[in-house]
């Protein structure tokens, strides 16, 4: 983040719930307060919210939660904020930043209820697979943020990515991992899921539930 702030150009963002934690200290602080454990409401993160079709439906159905969304595309952020405002959503915040850069800076360990990553880029080419969001390193970082029994949920319409994600998550001992029979996971459908259903394409959902921590609250260290 420091490198991007030093050498990048701040985007021109407009929106009630849209924040820029890279170039604006006040935005960063606002998001940190939103994610604070001082707030008793459950905290749910979505990585890659696109135009927030899921976010709006989820927030409408769960008005007592705090939603925190991350997206790296400015156009999607602007469209998402407009969509949330049109729906009268008050319990969401959107950040234009790569979640992997910002999550541990905004969220205290052991305070996150759920993290959703729906239909991440599969990065098909072998030389690009290191860019995939889901990895054992990412799984470990998220496990430190999750509460006991907190959930990391991955959805995809690429079977190879589902297999990859399940393998990466199972390699992390902090989780109990299941491939769900109900690929919707009982949640509002994303725009991608609706399109897949329309064209008869299957989707997959991999759920990783955070194991109960040891009694002294210390998570075993990993060499990633």
Q: Which residues are catalytic?
A: 121
Q: Provide φ and ψ at 149, rounded to 5°.
A: 70, 10
Neighbours of 6 (CB within 10 A): 7
Q: Is the dihedral of CA 144, 177, 212, 222 positive or negative?
A: negative
Q: Which residues of 78-112 are buried (b: 16+ CB within 10 A; e: fewer)?
A: bbbbbbbbeeebebbbbbbbbbebbbeebbeebbb
Q: Are 45 and 68 in contact (CB under 8 A)?
A: yes
Please tell me the number of Cα atoms within 13 Å of 80 on its side-chain side.
32
Token readout for 100 is: 């992997």
């Amino acid at each position: 983040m420091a490198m991007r702030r030093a050498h990048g150009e701040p985007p021109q963002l407009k929106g009630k719930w849209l924040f820029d934690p890279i170039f604006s200290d006040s935005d960063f602080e606002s998001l940190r307060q939103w994610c604070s454990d001082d707030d008793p409401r459950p905290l749910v993160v979505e990585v890659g919210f696109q135009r927030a079709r899921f976010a709006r439906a989820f927030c409408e159905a769960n008005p007592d939660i705090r939603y925190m969304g991350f997206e790296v595309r400015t156009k999607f952020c602007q469209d998402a904020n407009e969509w949330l405002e049109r729906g009268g959503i008050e319990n969401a915040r959107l950040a234009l930043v790569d979640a992997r850069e910002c999550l541990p800076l905004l969220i205290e360990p052991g305070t996150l209820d759920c993290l959703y990553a729906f239909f991440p880029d599969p990065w098909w080419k072998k030389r690009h697979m290191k860019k995939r969001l889901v990895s054992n390193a990412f799984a470990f970082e998220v496990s430190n943020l999750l509460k006991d029994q907190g959930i990391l949920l991955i959805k995809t319409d690429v079977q190879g990515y589902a297999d990859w994600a399940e393998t990466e998550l199972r390699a992390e001992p902090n989780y109990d991992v299941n491939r769900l029979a109900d690929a919707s996971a009982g949640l509002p459908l994303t725009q991608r899921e609706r399109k897949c259903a329309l064209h008869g394409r299957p989707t997959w959902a991999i759920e990783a539930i955070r194991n109960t921590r040891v009694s002294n609250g210390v998570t075993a260290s990993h060499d990633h």
